[in-house]
Chains A and B, each alone.
Chain A
């Protein structure tokens, strides 16, 4: 019987080794696949979307069964993204993700996002680290760089610098929403004045699309500052 056991043990070990090797290979292949797919998107996103249009336009029986599950998934994801964009008030036009490290309990990624919040354009680069500790997921932002419209407003510019130093990604986007609402209100207010027949003042378009009064009838600061005061207070 011990000869039987010996044989069995040898076979088990052989299988266990092969299983481990296969698991590693699979992990590596999956990671490689992810990166290749992402790189295709980075380089050729526009062309892909164009090619995919025809795939989507095939309705009814024309769709191949192997593809229909994928197509449904993609449709659902697009629908969900529209929902998130609407409720969050943030539209993301570009999203590049680079995975620097991935193991069972740790994930390090670099993301570059570009988009707009109402009238303000932004470009945000950040690195995030996630560590699984038992039941809890610890996540933190380790780098943050922001380029955004509206930095000609000194208070907003100071706020953006501070947020980069403290890595407060969430605070940035929360505040961006409020700030862009104020900018939009301000823009609408000025457009309204532009319409008055007695134009004793002119409204010039500022390069960043925020109108600036040239010969104000009243002090520009007194008009909409209460809008900004509220926004500034929330930037601390």
Chain B
């Protein structure tokens, strides 16, 4: 079938080219080139498809042999044996790549040795509640002492102090601490983002680069809506939750009420956006 198509193509193309030889403009030349390119592409893809089919058959043979517990190195199928080995190795390579991806997905450092072992590149993957966020990268120079040569960690982050403490004596500890703190930072930032997205009625009055302080203005529901200022202090930079929450309102009875004591606890024990969504659902705030 393919053979017939090929001859037909040659026939039509040949006809076209003969026609073209009789006076051809610039545009015509381009167009016949395009046709030629398309033909080449089709032929290439056909070959690729056929090769894949051939490989698939080899793999199926392999699978069949393995399931039937047959020996894989029959002397009579010499050429076939190489195909089998190729399939084996391809299967093994696939598994290894899956393992690499797994390490990457669970937040591994994706360590890469550069410059013949003179330097290391690591990545810090961050995520919050299942959503993958920023990835920070760092190159460590190993020639004499361990030094950070390049990185893209935000300047407000206390990188130098952590490096001073841990980099020389405990590399894994250094990486772990960085990972912890970068993830906590990403988590706090994400909470501010989600807060703005999901709870539009709450105003973010103040938030710092390191997100170690968050001041929110909510509107308390009641006979007359009242403004309530919630200050969340994140004293522990390895955490996504605040260490202290204070509630301020002109109306002291409101801020001292059991409802708002509960709200204060909510803000201490759950992520900011989750707490505020609950508070809104309970009718506490607008």
A-to-B contact residues, CB < 8 Å:
1, 4-5, 7-8, 11-12, 15-16, 18-19, 22-23, 25-26, 29-30, 32-34, 36-41, 43-45, 47-49, 51-52, 55, 64, 66-67, 70-71, 73-74, 77-78, 80-81, 83-85, 87-90, 92, 95, 97, 111, 113, 124, 128, 138-142, 144, 166-171, 173-174, 177-178, 233-234, 236
CB contact under 8 A between A33 and B52, given known A95-B98, A169-B127, A170-B125: yes
Comparing B104-112, B204-212, B221-229, the segment that makes contact with chain A is B104-112
**B130, A166: Cβ atoms closer than 8 Å:** yes
**B63, A36: Cβ atoms closer than 8 Å:** yes
**Other contacts beyond A48-B92, A70-B89, A171-B183: 5, CB < 8 A:** A7-B15, A8-B35, A11-B12, A92-B99, A124-B106
**A8, B31: Cβ atoms closer than 8 Å:** yes
Q: Does B19 contact A (CB under 8 A)?
A: yes
Report A-chain residues with C-beta under 8 Å of the C-beta of B172. 87, 89
B-to-A contact residues, CB < 8 Å:
9, 12-13, 15-16, 19-20, 28, 31-32, 34-35, 38-39, 41-42, 45-46, 48-49, 52-53, 55-56, 59-60, 62-63, 66-67, 72, 82, 85-103, 105-111, 113, 122, 125-132, 172, 175-176, 179-180, 183, 236, 238-241
CB contact under 8 A between A15 and B93, given known A33-B59, A234-B180: no
Report A-chain residues with C-beta under 8 Å of the C-beta of B66. 40, 43-44, 47-48
CB contact under 8 A between A19 and B45, given known A30-B52, A52-B88: yes
Q: Which residue of A lies closest to B179 (CB)?
A: A174
With beta carbons under 8 angstroms apart, the residue of B42, B132, B179 that contacts A19 is B42
Report B-chain residues with C-beta under 8 Å of the C-beta of A87. 108-109, 111, 122, 172, 175
**A22, B42: Cβ atoms closer than 8 Å:** yes
In the bound assembly, the distance between CA atoms of A173 and B105 in angstroms comes to: 11
**A70, B82: Cβ atoms closer than 8 Å:** no
Q: Top 3 nearest A-B pairs by Cβ distance? A: A167-B130, A170-B107, A77-B96
Interface of B is mostly: helix
Count of CB-CB pairs between chains A and B under 8 Å: 213
**A170, B126: Cβ atoms closer than 8 Å:** yes
With beta carbons under 8 angstroms apart, the residue of A40, A67, A111 that contacts B102 is A111
Q: How far is the CB of B259 from chain A (nearest CB, A)?
A: 24
Q: Which residue of A lies closest to B132 (CB)?
A: A139
Report A-chain residues with C-beta under 8 Å of the C-beta of B31. 5, 8
Q: How far is the CB of A98 from chain B (nearest CB, A)?
A: 10
**B88, A48: Cβ atoms closer than 8 Å:** yes
Q: How far is the CB of A223 from chain B (nearest CB, A)?
A: 23
Q: How far is the CB of B203 from chain A (nearest CB, A)?
A: 26
In the bound assembly, the distance between CA atoms of A124 and B39 in angstroms comes to: 49
**A81, B92: Cβ atoms closer than 8 Å:** no
Interface of A is mostly: helix
**A36, B128: Cβ atoms closer than 8 Å:** no
User: Can you give 22 A-B contacts (C-beta < 8 A)?
Assistant: A7-B12, A11-B35, A15-B39, A19-B41, A30-B52, A34-B94, A38-B94, A40-B91, A47-B66, A70-B86, A77-B96, A78-B96, A80-B100, A87-B109, A90-B106, A92-B103, A95-B102, A138-B132, A167-B129, A168-B129, A174-B107, A236-B241
**B130, A169: Cβ atoms closer than 8 Å:** yes
With beta carbons under 8 angstroms apart, the residue of B62, B63, B127, B180 that contacts A168 is B127
Report B-chain residues with C-beta under 8 Å of the C-beta of A97. 98, 101-102
Report B-chain residues with C-beta under 8 Å of the C-beta of A64. 82, 85
Q: How far is the CB of A17 from chain B (nearest CB, A)?
A: 10
**B34, A26: Cβ atoms closer than 8 Å:** no
**A92, B48: Cβ atoms closer than 8 Å:** no
In the bound assembly, the distance between CA atoms of A200 and B113 in angstroms comes to: 52
Q: How far is the CB of A37 from chain B (nearest CB, A)?
A: 4
Report A-chain residues with C-beta under 8 Å of the C-beta of B53. 29
**B88, A170: Cβ atoms closer than 8 Å:** no
Report B-chain residues with C-beta under 8 Å of the C-beta of A43. 66-67
With beta carbons under 8 angstroms apart, the residue of B45, B82, B132, B176 that contacts A23 is B45
